[in-house]
């Protein structure tokens, strides 16, 4: 008989372990002010509910399938890449170098032609 009473009490306690609806109603005004606290008349006021209890309440609400509108908006992701730039672009530079090396004979001929024309101009000028 006593074990039956203990089982019913244990069942009632497990079902009513954390009353999130009452807690949410109690702290609704406080949670809407901010995640960590808020400014009031030039002074920072922390929330009356601790971060651990706030997280537990949030978890219970989300597990129950309800919406939790008190999270701060997500910031934009960083677009800056990590690592050294030279390591990231080395393959691109090698491909560009190979392409330029194929054009090297024409480039050398053009350079020699320009130098020859400049030399000829200076000789004509000196005469």
**Whole-prediction pTM:** 0.48
User: What is the distance between the alpha carbons of residues 107 and 111, in angstroms, rounded to a whole number?
Assistant: 6
Q: The dihedral of CA 7, 11, 12, 18: what is its sign?
A: positive
User: What is the distance between the alpha carbons of residues 37 and 22, in angstroms, rounded to a whole number?
Assistant: 21
| Under 8 Å between Cβ of 17 and 63 | no
H-helix or E-strand containing 18? none
* Closest residue by Cα to residue 49 from 18, 67, 28: 28
- pLDDT tens-digit series, residues 24-81: 888 888 888 888 888 989 999 888 888 899 999 999 999 988 888 888 888 888 888 8
pLDDT score of 12: 59
Higher pLDDT, 35 or 11: 35
- pLDDT confidence tier of residue 103, bands split at 50, 70 and 90: very high
Q: Is 88 exposed, middle or buried (0-12, 13-18, 19+ CB in 10 A)?
A: exposed
Helix spans in 16-75 (H): 20-31, 51-63
| Under 8 Å between Cβ of 34 and 47 | yes
User: What is the distance between the alpha carbons of residues 73 and 78, in angstroms, rounded to a whole number?
Assistant: 15
């Amino acid at each position: 008989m006593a074990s039956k009473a203990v089982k019913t009490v244990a069942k009632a306690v497990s079902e009513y372990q954390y009353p999130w609806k009452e807690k949410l109603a109690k702290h609704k005004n406080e949670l809407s002010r901010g995640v960590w606290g808020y400014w009031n008349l030039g002074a920072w006021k922390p929330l009356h509910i601790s971060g651990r209890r706030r997280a537990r309440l949030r978890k219970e609400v989300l597990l129950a399938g309800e919406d939790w509108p008190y999270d701060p908006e997500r910031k934009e992701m960083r677009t800056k890449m990590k690592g050294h730039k030279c390591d990231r672009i080395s393959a691109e530079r090698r491909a560009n170098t190979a392409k330029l090396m194929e054009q090297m004979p024409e480039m050398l001929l053009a350079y020699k032609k320009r130098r020859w024309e400049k030399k000829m101009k200076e000789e004509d000028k000196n005469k």
